[in-house]
Amino acid sequence: MPELPEVEVICEGLRPHLLHRIITTIHSSGKSLRYPVPLAAMNESLGGQTISSVTRRAKYLLIGTNNEMLLIIHLGMTGNLGIFPHSAPVRSHDHVRWQMDNGLELRLHDARRFGAVWLLTPEQARNKESGFFGNTGPEPFSPLCTPAHFLDLARKRHQPVKNFLMDNKVVAGIGNIYANEILFAAALHPLRPVNTLAEGDWQRLIPLMQRILTQAIASGGSTISDFINASGESGYFQLQFMVYGRKNQPCLRCGTAIEKMQIGGRASFFCPRCQQDEGNAR
């Protein structure tokens, strides 16, 4: 599933192609995604409207129009977005197409159809933080993302710190790949009970989290799943992974073989020497 850096990269890639363009019509394959596609509502509310913003919140792409409607897109596990000429052949899994006034269209391609499209009214859009994103934590780069925030939420939890970081209610957008990388950078074992982390641990972890995500965005995201950015080029941050996907390979810091375990059903990679502090997790 695309994580925060992938969605940010596609957002940045799409923005210059979409901003100030007029949506002329919307087409659908007729198949539902995770939820039914609101085709009729989109054509009624977005047709003839100018795109005024292209932003990201958590792992969602947000497209605003000049009538204050808000289109929200989630890529699911295998979805990707791209810009194509109207005349380009439509592929079998191009499930939603937004045509624009310049002969181009935005296409949502999703083979497994786990993605989703929502359309918010102006009132819903204005109240999206208490409504649609009411259960979503602060962005990793937000001033609200502080040691106090994490300490308060972690105080009564005994779950592994890795699961805690991946909880979208705690912090938005961090998935399995970057949770592995962040914990390695912070020298924390992924099974460490989150309530055993002190303020100093969070003071160390937060800047590392922000640095790793910034590097990932600058590098174009990772080429996990079927993600392709708007220019059609795969991201390449996966070439910089320190632990993810490196089972039995030498740690890039100490040379110890990287180990892999399952935590919460997700593959977890760590260095048993650099990340020794397990904190009675077992």
Residue 192's nearest CA partner among 152, 153, 160 is 160
How many residues comprise the chain? 282
DSSP state of 265: T
The confidence score (pLDDT) of residue 233 equals: 55
Residue 135 in any domain: the answer is no
Residue 282 in any domain: the answer is no
Pairing of strands 104-109, 80-85: antiparallel
266 is catalytic: yes
What would the pLDDT profile of 200-236 be if each residue is shown by its tens digit?
999 999 999 999 999 988 887 554 444 445 555 555 5
Mean residue pLDDT of the chain comes to: 91
Pairing of strands 259-263, 266-270: antiparallel
* pTM confidence score: 0.89
- Look at residues 57, 91, 126 and tell me which one is the last residue of a structural domain: 126
The confidence score (pLDDT) of residue 224 equals: 43
3 is catalytic: yes
Question: Which residue among 21, 59, 107, 128 is the active-site one?
Answer: 59
Q: How many domains does the chain have?
A: 2
What would the pLDDT profile of 19-31 be if each residue is shown by its tens digit?
999 999 999 999 9
Residue 136 in any domain: the answer is no
- Look at residues 126, 158, 192 and tell me which one is the last residue of a structural domain: 126
Check whether residue 12 and residue 84 sit in a common domain: yes
Check whether residue 177 and residue 241 sit in a common domain: yes
Residue 30 in any domain: the answer is yes
Residue 275 in any domain: the answer is no
Check whether residue 15 and residue 103 sit in a common domain: yes
Does an H or E element contain 16, and which? helix 4-18
More confident residue, 68 or 225: 68
Q: Which of 81-85, 89-93, 185-189, 276-280 has the highest mean pLDDT?
A: 185-189
The confidence score (pLDDT) of residue 239 equals: 56
Residue 264's nearest CA partner among 191, 194, 196 is 191
59 is catalytic: yes
Check whether residue 104 and residue 212 sit in a common domain: no
Burial 137-174 (b: 16+ CB within 10 A, else e): bebbeeeebebebbbebbeeeebbbbbbbbeeebbbbb
Which two tokens mark 108? Answer: 């949502």
The confidence score (pLDDT) of residue 237 equals: 58
The confidence score (pLDDT) of residue 255 equals: 97
Check whether residue 79 and residue 155 sit in a common domain: no
Check whether residue 107 and residue 160 sit in a common domain: no
Which two tokens mark 87? Answer: 């005349």
Return the CATH number at 35: 3.20.190.10
Check whether residue 204 and residue 152 sit in a common domain: yes
The confidence score (pLDDT) of residue 278 equals: 57
Residue 137 in any domain: the answer is no
Check whether residue 260 and residue 154 sit in a common domain: yes
Check whether residue 178 and residue 262 sit in a common domain: yes
241 close to 181: Cβ distance less than 8 angstroms = yes
What would the pLDDT profile of 92-150 be if each residue is shown by its tens digit?
999 999 999 999 999 999 999 999 999 999 999 999 999 999 999 999 999 999 999 99
- Look at residues 64, 95, 126 and tell me which one is the last residue of a structural domain: 126
Check whether residue 121 and residue 152 sit in a common domain: no
Check whether residue 154 and residue 122 sit in a common domain: no
Check whether residue 70 and residue 24 sit in a common domain: yes
User: Chain centroid to CA 217: how far?
Assistant: 11
Residue 140 in any domain: the answer is no
Residue 142 in any domain: the answer is no
Return the CATH number at 229: 1.10.8.50
Question: Which residue among 34, 113, 260, 266 is the active-site one?
Answer: 266
68 is catalytic: no
Residue numbers of the domain that contains 257: 147-270
By percentage, how much of the chain surpasses pLDDT 90? 78
Residue 281 confidence class, pLDDT cut points 50, 70, 90: very low
